[in-house]
Structure 1
């Protein structure tokens, strides 16, 4: 999911009725259930902590097929459904059963890449299981099945080996190897079957208008909807298809910076970081910069980028806020994964927690109701006792500041404060007798 672990950002807050999810952006990251390692993990099922059995990808596909069973005629249902399966694999750490990585190890593939390939093999196996399940349920012909990924390869290429289809760059790169991904559509009753490539440049923003058009839904009129319906391309009706210019950038900063790791894309051209121009018709691998030969193209694409940047720049200082005190997430557990640190270090995975990374930041929050709150500081999630290793603890939320001494063997410390509804910042500090202070990695906020 990776769009938030608290109200109003969780899947169940955003319209999903059936949810099975790990925390954060990958199994083993800070918001995830502590100690998960891909095998027999504990995930959140409709907001409740539930122990699972099996490998993570198998667990998610099994849950998806159970959900689909209730929608099929064979399962007593006959209603349209939307099922979204964003797998944890093939994300690091690269952990998978030996049987999946052994064929690659036997072929001489380095261990890290063999495990990565093994995770992909397991995904392939599960996609096959899903397709067979749809067929057995009588749903295959009238179900639109989309297979895509969120970025270029993370470990399947580079460092002198692997396969990347001739693309330059890997995950996080502004070159096509960082962001060009597969996107397969299959819907027999809709005329979408195998054997055809769509060469035009498209992007993730096209998903919403395309699915809306297919389902006969009217888009909202109170906001700008990015993207274009791909139905004409999917239906082989390319007459009148517009010449498009699309944009990608990889920021990973507190506030975005213009021309940072960006690409302006058309069917033929890529303008990278505002300086390098590549002609994909002649140079698919983006090896030769032809900016000096085509200054007019550079100017045109730069102007398009400037216009796009101006259109998105109005919200760069807005925060996506975590709701406190809402009945569906009370108490709320905040994790340091969501700190704002002005580009300082963030303990985003559980190994950072175990090593005691010294860092701090604030949470952007919104108090949903005025009243009394208990705010508890920890260095491990509730249920795991671990020393705070601090002499004093400090809490700042809005204009309220509290500080108290911490017992030598304390594993948590709590403050009771009155809060008014509205936007605020919450920050904690644990200060030892000697050494650097740090923030509390986990903070539980409960409306009393």
Structure 2
């Protein structure tokens, strides 16, 4: 009898173990992978789907055909460090105390207490990797590995911050290439940079294909100085700039194809956009605005409207274009929504545009454009844009633009009064409608006043109550 009882006990235990090891009939789905590709100084008109004709971008064309293209997508700051801070935190960079473009002398960076896309996803079990240009502080305290990224490979700041800068030779030290927090090389030429970034991105995807991952691929190009590998040298009709764009397009194609090859297409969202418009003073080494007014370093649409493509097979419509406005500050809350991640504890400014991407439902709300040290230069609302009096740079009308990587000098213009534009009818900002629509001017100015109370405004000597401390070291 004792033996029978013991045998039955073993059978019950065995059955229980078998039951516990069986996979559930409806396992919870894997959270979506996120790939965020961020170009540097890429113009609104630099992709074929946005009007480029002097070079080809077949892989980005395919991404747009298989996803949704946004035709009024903005950055809030037309300059490197500020733009990247806004993208990664979902907050206006001036709220965070970040302005301009940091160089090798900067003793500050993104505050460690700010939460990035990488940090909110890492808390959800994601593998997080960054490849490319960081530009939010080069000191160890501010590097990507201190802001939620498991791994990092790239440059700590812009690729022109090196001894060969055409205007300030020998001011910058050798250009460091980092692996995590270690300088593994210094670059004296950059022809393999886009290829290296691409290879590292593919490695990261391969290594983490069995778990949710977030890849932030921030290309250094087409920011000057322009370099291209032998694969694309001489490939475009335009010259070196076109070659560089074609290599970036190739890089996007490599990443896109890798996702398809691994069977991850239906569980991966890919976002492609740029940090600001083209650096027009570099002439043939700068991109295209597709007719938009001015370029990088201004709050006219040529400086802050950028190409943007969102693709997620089965979730985001294919071959669709969206004309409603959105901004890079909306990327983090959108990713938070689709990954069911909590938003950062500190206040952010963006909101999820998932309903806009999937259903075409836009929420009417204002967006703001800042430049210099906390100057509120423009406010958007639906089709309207109100531009405030400020000083901005422009190319002289008689400027002889070059094609050798040497910039011409800007001149500066003082905008003396508020100007109002209907971007649905006048995307090139040529017809000031302020005198015809005083009620719209008043409405947008009231929105701007709320922003001034919150984040301040140097143009009106307004002090904000919602600004936070930037990260600093002594």
Choose which of 260, 270, 281 in structure 1 pairs with 2:424: 281
Counterpart-to-counterpart distance in 2, 1:317 and 1:214: 28
Number of positions where the alignment pairs a residue of Structure 1 with one of Structure 2:
296
Aligned to 1:147: 272
Change in CA separation of 1:60 and 1:162 when aligned onto 2, cut-off 3 Å? closer
| Residue 3 (str. 1) matches residue 161 (str. 2) | no
The DSSP-based 3-state class of the residue aligned with 1:235 is helix
Choose which of 312, 318, 321 in structure 2 pairs with 1:187: 312
The DSSP-based 3-state class of the residue aligned with 1:181 is strand
| Residue 204 (str. 1) matches residue 328 (str. 2) | yes
Counterpart-to-counterpart distance in 2, 1:87 and 1:157: 19
Counterpart-to-counterpart distance in 2, 1:120 and 1:61: 14
Choose which of 351, 358, 379 in structure 2 pairs with 1:264: 379
Q: TM-score, normalised by structure 2?
A: 0.57
| Residue 43 (str. 1) matches residue 177 (str. 2) | yes
- RMSD over equivalenced CA pairs, Å: 2.9
Higher RCO, 1 or 2 (CA under 8 Å, sep at least 6)? 2
The DSSP-based 3-state class of the residue aligned with 1:19 is strand
Counterpart-to-counterpart distance in 1, 2:268 and 2:295: 32
Where in structure 2 are there 5+ consecutive unaligned residues? 1-133, 164-169, 390-417, 457-463
Choose which of 293, 300, 322 in structure 2 pairs with 1:175: 300
| Residue 291 (str. 1) matches residue 424 (str. 2) | no
The DSSP-based 3-state class of the residue aligned with 1:100 is coil
The DSSP-based 3-state class of the residue aligned with 2:217 is coil
Aligned to 1:219: 343
| Residue 71 (str. 1) matches residue 204 (str. 2) | no
| Residue 232 (str. 1) matches residue 381 (str. 2) | no
Residue 185 of structure 1: how far off its partner (Å): 0.8
| Residue 102 (str. 1) matches residue 234 (str. 2) | yes
Counterpart-to-counterpart distance in 2, 1:93 and 1:218: 40
Aligned to 1:122: 247
| Residue 55 (str. 1) matches residue 205 (str. 2) | no
Residue 157 of structure 1: how far off its partner (Å): 9.4
Counterpart-to-counterpart distance in 2, 1:99 and 1:136: 23
The DSSP-based 3-state class of the residue aligned with 2:321 is coil
Counterpart-to-counterpart distance in 1, 2:442 and 2:354: 31
Residue 29 of structure 1: how far off its partner (Å): 4.0
Where in structure 1 are there 5+ consecutive unaligned residues? 37-41, 73-77, 324-364, 366-448
Change in CA separation of 1:247 and 1:140 when aligned onto 2, cut-off 3 Å? same
Q: Contact 1:146–1:183 at 8 Å: present in 2 too?
A: yes
Aligned to 1:412: none
Residue 8 of structure 1: how far off its partner (Å): 2.6
The DSSP-based 3-state class of the residue aligned with 2:350 is coil
Greater mean deviation of Cα atoms: 266-275 or 89-98: 89-98
Residue 312 of structure 1: how far off its partner (Å): 1.0
Q: Contact 2:454–2:465 at 8 Å: present in 1 too?
A: no
Counterpart-to-counterpart distance in 1, 2:281 and 2:379: 25
Counterpart-to-counterpart distance in 1, 2:333 and 2:254: 29
Residue 198 of structure 1: how far off its partner (Å): 1.7
Residue 7 of structure 1: how far off its partner (Å): 3.6
Choose which of 417, 438, 444 in structure 2 pairs with 1:301: 444
Residue 95 of structure 1: how far off its partner (Å): 2.7
The DSSP-based 3-state class of the residue aligned with 1:62 is helix
Counterpart-to-counterpart distance in 2, 1:224 and 1:235: 26
